[in-house]
Amino acid sequence: MKLVLVFLLAAIPICCYASSSNCRAMDDVVAQITNSSVSVAEFQRVIKSYAPLPYDKKALGEVKQCFLDQSEETLANYRVMMNAIYDSEDCPQTS
Protein backbone atom coordinates (compact mmCIF):
# COMPACT_ATOMS: atom_id res chain seq x y z
CA MET A 1 0.00 0.00 0.00
CA LYS A 2 2.89 2.34 0.74
CA LEU A 3 4.18 1.67 -2.76
CA VAL A 4 0.85 2.80 -4.25
CA LEU A 5 1.05 6.03 -2.26
CA VAL A 6 4.64 6.59 -3.37
CA PHE A 7 3.66 6.16 -7.01
CA LEU A 8 0.71 8.50 -6.55
CA LEU A 9 2.92 11.17 -5.01
CA ALA A 10 5.55 10.67 -7.72
CA ALA A 11 2.89 11.23 -10.39
CA ILE A 12 1.66 14.51 -8.92
CA PRO A 13 4.33 16.71 -10.54
CA ILE A 14 3.23 15.34 -13.89
CA CYS A 15 -0.31 16.38 -13.04
CA CYS A 16 0.78 19.96 -12.42
CA TYR A 17 -0.09 20.66 -16.03
CA ALA A 18 -3.66 20.37 -14.78
CA SER A 19 -2.90 23.05 -12.24
CA SER A 20 -5.27 24.60 -9.77
CA SER A 21 -6.21 27.46 -12.05
CA ASN A 22 -6.72 25.30 -15.13
CA CYS A 23 -8.39 22.04 -14.19
CA ARG A 24 -11.42 22.06 -11.95
CA ALA A 25 -11.70 18.25 -12.05
CA MET A 26 -8.17 17.77 -10.72
CA ASP A 27 -8.79 20.33 -7.99
CA ASP A 28 -12.01 18.56 -6.99
CA VAL A 29 -10.30 15.16 -6.78
CA VAL A 30 -7.45 16.58 -4.67
CA ALA A 31 -9.94 18.35 -2.40
CA GLN A 32 -11.99 15.17 -1.99
CA ILE A 33 -9.01 12.91 -1.36
CA THR A 34 -7.64 15.21 1.36
CA ASN A 35 -11.03 15.77 3.02
CA SER A 36 -11.19 13.42 6.00
CA SER A 37 -14.99 13.75 6.21
CA VAL A 38 -15.40 12.12 2.76
CA SER A 39 -15.71 8.34 3.00
CA VAL A 40 -14.17 5.87 0.56
CA ALA A 41 -17.62 5.16 -0.94
CA GLU A 42 -18.34 8.88 -1.42
CA PHE A 43 -14.91 9.38 -2.99
CA GLN A 44 -15.49 6.49 -5.38
CA ARG A 45 -18.77 8.09 -6.48
CA VAL A 46 -16.94 11.38 -7.14
CA ILE A 47 -14.26 9.74 -9.30
CA LYS A 48 -16.46 7.14 -11.03
CA SER A 49 -16.22 8.91 -14.40
CA TYR A 50 -12.41 8.93 -14.16
CA ALA A 51 -12.11 5.31 -13.01
CA PRO A 52 -14.90 3.26 -14.57
CA LEU A 53 -13.21 -0.14 -14.23
CA PRO A 54 -13.66 -2.13 -11.01
CA TYR A 55 -9.94 -2.50 -10.31
CA ASP A 56 -9.40 1.24 -10.85
CA LYS A 57 -12.22 1.96 -8.42
CA LYS A 58 -10.72 -0.45 -5.87
CA ALA A 59 -7.21 0.99 -6.22
CA LEU A 60 -8.41 4.57 -5.80
CA GLY A 61 -10.48 3.47 -2.83
CA GLU A 62 -7.30 2.11 -1.25
CA VAL A 63 -5.50 5.38 -1.96
CA LYS A 64 -8.37 7.29 -0.31
CA GLN A 65 -8.14 4.96 2.69
CA CYS A 66 -4.43 5.84 2.96
CA PHE A 67 -5.41 9.48 3.22
CA LEU A 68 -8.12 8.68 5.80
CA ASP A 69 -5.48 6.95 7.92
CA GLN A 70 -3.39 10.16 8.08
CA SER A 71 -3.61 12.88 10.70
CA GLU A 72 -5.13 16.27 9.93
CA GLU A 73 -1.63 17.76 10.16
CA THR A 74 -0.37 15.39 7.45
CA LEU A 75 -3.35 16.21 5.22
CA ALA A 76 -2.70 19.93 5.70
CA ASN A 77 0.96 19.40 4.78
CA TYR A 78 -0.14 17.51 1.65
CA ARG A 79 -2.31 20.47 0.61
CA VAL A 80 0.66 22.81 1.16
CA MET A 81 2.80 20.52 -1.01
CA MET A 82 0.20 20.53 -3.79
CA ASN A 83 0.07 24.33 -3.72
CA ALA A 84 3.87 24.49 -3.81
CA ILE A 85 3.88 22.24 -6.88
CA TYR A 86 1.20 24.32 -8.60
CA ASP A 87 3.08 27.54 -7.85
CA SER A 88 6.54 26.26 -8.82
CA GLU A 89 8.53 27.55 -11.78
CA ASP A 90 8.49 24.06 -13.30
CA CYS A 91 4.71 23.95 -13.38
CA PRO A 92 3.63 26.18 -16.23
CA GLN A 93 0.43 28.12 -15.72
CA THR A 94 -1.62 29.18 -18.68
CA SER A 95 -4.05 32.04 -18.57
3-state helix/strand/coil string of 54-88: HHHHHHHHHHHHHHHCCCHHHHHHHHHHHHHHHCC
User: Does residue 62 form part of some domain?
Assistant: yes
User: Does residue 36 form part of some domain?
Assistant: yes
Q: What pTM does this model have?
A: 0.66
Q: What is the pLDDT of residue 3?
A: 67
User: Does residue 47 form part of some domain?
Assistant: yes
Q: What is the pLDDT of residue 73?
A: 93
Question: What is the domain count for the chain?
Answer: 1
Residues 57/48, Cβ–Cβ less than 8 Å? yes
What is each CA distance from 46 to 12, 72, 86, in whole angstroms? Answer: 19, 21, 22
81 band by pLDDT with thresholds 50, 70 and 90 = confident
5 band by pLDDT with thresholds 50, 70 and 90 = low
**CB-based burial of residue 92 (10 Å sphere; 0-12 exposed, 13-18 middle, 19+ buried)?**
exposed
Q: What is the pLDDT of residue 18?
A: 46
39 band by pLDDT with thresholds 50, 70 and 90 = very high
User: Does residue 95 form part of some domain?
Assistant: no
Q: What is the pLDDT of residue 54?
A: 86
Query: What is the domain extent for residue 64?
Result: 2-16+23-86
If one counts every other C-beta atom within 10 angstroms of the C-beta of residue 61, the result is: 17
Q: What is the pLDDT of residue 7?
A: 66
